[in-house]
Structure 1
Amino acid sequence: MLKKLTATILAGLAVTSVFAAPALAQETTIKFTLGWKTQGSDAAFFVARDKGYYKAEGLNVVIDQGEGSGATVTRIMGGAYDAGFGDVNAIIQNAAAKPGEAPVMVYMIWNKPPFAISSKKSVGITKPQDLEGKTLGGAQGTPTTRLIEVFARKNNVDMSKVKLTNMAPNLQEPMLIKGDIDGALVFNITSYFNLLLNRQDPEKDYNWLMFGDYGLDLYSNGLMVSQKLLKENPKAVEGLVRATNKAMMETAKDQNMAMKSVMAFDNLVNEAVEKKRLQYSFTHLMVSPELAEIGVGDTKDDRMARAIGIIVEGYGLTRTPKPEEIFSRQFLPAKSERALVYTAN
């Protein structure tokens, strides 16, 4: 009788342990903010979510739309988000003022900056010196507008001969099209598609002076995490980076697949336009000789130091943060796993 009772109790405990085991493996929830409204260039994050790559790392990544790539930093610093896709240059600004509080970039995605001056070809702005005697429209506070003075100094442009007009971001392309301004201080990945949506041909009819081609060799957007997540759950950070990287490699090879995840997240976006934006992000902001050398996600310390110096100068910052305050490569997968092969399809 005692043997039978003992066997029953043990069997019961075994059943209980089977049902209890999954409860012990709780997922880590990460609140994640995009840099802006849903865009094709965000595809890798949606792919990682839909294909279960985040889940396989024990993560429940909750993705929200953003309010601007600079706002990603303040959203994370405010505690509302644990991670996000945003601008490393905004990290530099905040790290200069509040050491130890700004997020840290852990996976650099846009190897080249989107800061540019767009103009109609008929205006004749083909090099920086052509800006003299022209009227430029810029949105106050944006990196392109804030850095125009540094751009001018590096390229011997006399800014006393350039008229700057302040305007809301949504007015830049309409005023450019109408001819009210000669050039617009923009993000190329935004302005290019605003022109396209306004039935313009941004390739055939417009010139683009890319800041990265004229002495402002800055890094740009990538995956950043909060100081809190970095310190309290480095394993989660490693998993977040690994899953995102896996999805990025697949997105580079198959944009049609990636766009299915974009549309699953937000079926109101223009699929054709956002697919082009996704491809534009690879060709204009990611693929580069440096990327081929070091792989997606990484940076070069000397270039990062120079980039920090440019931002300190452009924004008049009182402290120069060290590269290790801004970027950490400790969570990156092996370089062989980050070798990007981009094929447009």
Structure 2
Amino acid sequence: MTSVRRKWEPIVTRPLLLASLLGAVLAAPAAFAQTSVPFTLDWRFEGPAAPYFLAIDNGYFEAEGLDVEISPGQGSLDAIPKVATGAFPIGFADMASVIKFIDQNPDAPVTAIMMMYDVPAFAVVGRRSLGVETPADLEGRVLGAPPPDGAWAQFPVFAAEQGLDMDAITVEPVGFPTREPMLAEGQVAAVTGFSFTSSLSTMRLGVPEDDIVVMLMADYGVDLYGNAIIVNTDWAAENPELVTGFLRAVAQGVRDAAADPEAGVAAIAARNPALDSELEVARLNMALRDNILTDWVMENGIGGIDEERFASSLEQIAMTYEFTNEPDASRYFTSEYLPTDGSLMME
């Protein structure tokens, strides 16, 4: 009976085998299909954006089934309406600005899902030669501030914590392209901006490093969080695994950028040959050191928040902003899409 069964076995299974192989071949494209995910930054392609480009170049997004295209932004507030309207499913934005936007637009389908800057890069950057070394020196001088700037949005909290008289500070609305040139030319004594953007961009314009003072707002009583990855909640609800995969890939990109900042900047330079790579490596290192890989992140992993601190940050925002609705921390940030497989740990 055994020999008979073997004799007839090829006659029965050969068509089934061929059908199975054919099915596998036809299914192969679907198995490797990538979902297109446009991602908007808050600003230009600079050093701190290296983790996202490394996640592309090193195949981390692809491994998660994602085809990610990165677009530059025009300021900390720029990405929020883009994501809320669905123009981009995922973006990068200032957390405090996200909170205010949701308060003013409670039905907007947007929320933060991964904290990238555990310490915000909000800073006041001034020049010693123009009389600015401490927060109190801003009184009686001209401060350049782009209206859409996230640092400017938090300046009232900084001023309140330092007991500054806002009426004694002349605020000059400036554009992002003219902010650092105006500081370099002495038209303003200080500017609001991200620490690693305004300081290094001013040095690039010829201002000596020892003439530049960087007052990181977090060192002067501001207990806010910085920039976070935000998502369109309608899209996230339909694609939860893709969202988690996106965050996992970003975390790997952060690890790679920390391990080799030069390679991270090279990934950006491949998209912008005119990039000043040396400057951007310095900018990336500043962001990693001061904002991203903080002690809290090294202990707890990247992406999450400390609930107590987050509650404190809401209280600080309320110092200078009148909430339309009762603040609800769960509406502004959710950890439900963060990977739970240990991939957020930075060591």
User: Under a length normalisation based on structure 1, what TM-score does the superposition of the two structures give?
Assistant: 0.89
In structure 2, distance between residues paired with 1:187 and 1:205: 18
1:174 aligned partner = 181
Question: For structure 1, which segment, 111-120 or 231-240, has the greater mean C-alpha deviation from structure 2 after superposition?
Answer: 111-120
Quick one: distance in 1 between partners of 2:341 and 2:202? Answer: 37
Query: In 2, Cα distance between the equivalents of 1:182 and 1:69?
Result: 22
Structure 1 unaligned blocks of 5 or more: none
Amino acid at match of 1:96: D
Contact 1:136 1:164 in 2 (8 A): yes
* Structure 2 spans left out of the alignment, 5+ residues: 1-7
Q: Is the 8 A contact 1:103 1:227 kept in 2?
A: yes
Instruction: Give the Cα–Cα distance (whole angstroms) in 2 for the partners of residues 3 and 253 of structure 1.
Output: 57
Counterparts of 2:289 and 2:87, CA distance in 1: 33
Look up the SS of the partner of 1:84 in the other structure.
strand
Is 1:230 the counterpart of 2:236? The answer is: yes
Partner residue, 1:161: 168
Show CA shifts across 1:82-130 (max 9, x none): 1122222221122102224242222211111222211111334333222
Change (3 A) 1:334 1:8: closer
2:194 is aligned to 187
Match of 1:66 in 2: 73
Paired letter, 1:34: L
Superposed displacement of residue 45, structure 1: 0.9
- The percentage of aligned residue pairs carrying the same residue is 27
Q: Cα 1:161–1:125, aligned 2, differ >3 Å: closer, same or farther?
A: same
Distance 1:265 1:171, change over 3 A: closer
Q: Describe the superposition over 1:192-249 as per-residue Cα deviations: whole angstroms up to 9, x where unpaired.
A: 12212202233x1111222111121111112222102221111111111111111211
CA RMSD of aligned residues (A): 2.4
After TM superposition, the score normalised by the length of structure 2 is 0.88
Aligned equivalents of 1:329 and 1:3: distance in 2?
54
Cα distance in 1 between the residues matched to 2:342 and 2:17: 48
1:299 matched to which residue of 2? 305
CA contact (8 A) 2:76 2:149 kept: no
Distance 1:141 1:317, change over 3 A: farther
Q: Deviations over 1:146-193 (max 9, x none)?
A: 333332222111223222222223323222223222222222222112
Match of 1:326 among 317, 332, 338: 332
The 3 A distance-change label for structure 1 pair 240 and 136 is same
Structure 2 residue matching 1:147: 3-state secondary structure: helix
Change in CA separation of 1:163 and 1:4 when aligned onto 2, cut-off 3 Å:
closer
Number of residue pairs the alignment of both structures matches: 339
Supply the distance in 2 between the matched residues of 1:243 and 1:143 (Cα, whole angstroms).
26
Query: For the residues of structure 2 that align with 1:11 and 1:179, how far apart are their CA atoms?
Result: 78
Question: How far 1:17 sits from its partner (Å)?
Answer: 0.7
Change (3 A) 1:168 1:247: closer
Larger Rg: 2
Which residue does the alignment assign to 1:88? 95
**DSSP 3-state at the match of 1:68:** coil
Residue 205 of structure 1: aligned partner = 211
Secondary structure of 1:207's match?
A: strand
Mapped partners of 1:59, 1:81: distance in 2: 14
- Check conservation: 2:89, 2:231, Cα contact below 8 A: yes
Change (3 A) 1:337 1:16: closer
> How far did 1:286 drift?
1.9
Distance 1:178 1:63, change over 3 A: closer
How far did 1:5 drift?
8.2
Moved more, 184-193 or 330-339: 330-339
1:284-323 CA deviation, whole Å, 9 max, x = no partner?
Answer: 2223332233222111112112223333443444224322
Distance 1:280 1:32 in 2: 23
Alignment partners' CA distance in 2, 1:62 and 1:282:
23
Q: Please, which of 120, 134, 143 is the counterpart of residue 136 of structure 1?
A: 143
Cα deviations by residue, 1:6-54 (Å, 9 ceiling, x for unpaired):
6664354223212122133233222211222211211111111111111
Match among 86, 97, 100 for residue 104 of structure 2? 97
Q: SS where residue 147 of structure 2 aligns?
A: coil
Instruction: Measure, in 2, the Cα distance between the counterparts of 1:218 and 1:61.
Output: 29
Contact 2:113 2:334 in 1 (8 A): yes
- Report the counterpart of residue 4 of structure 2 in structure 1: none
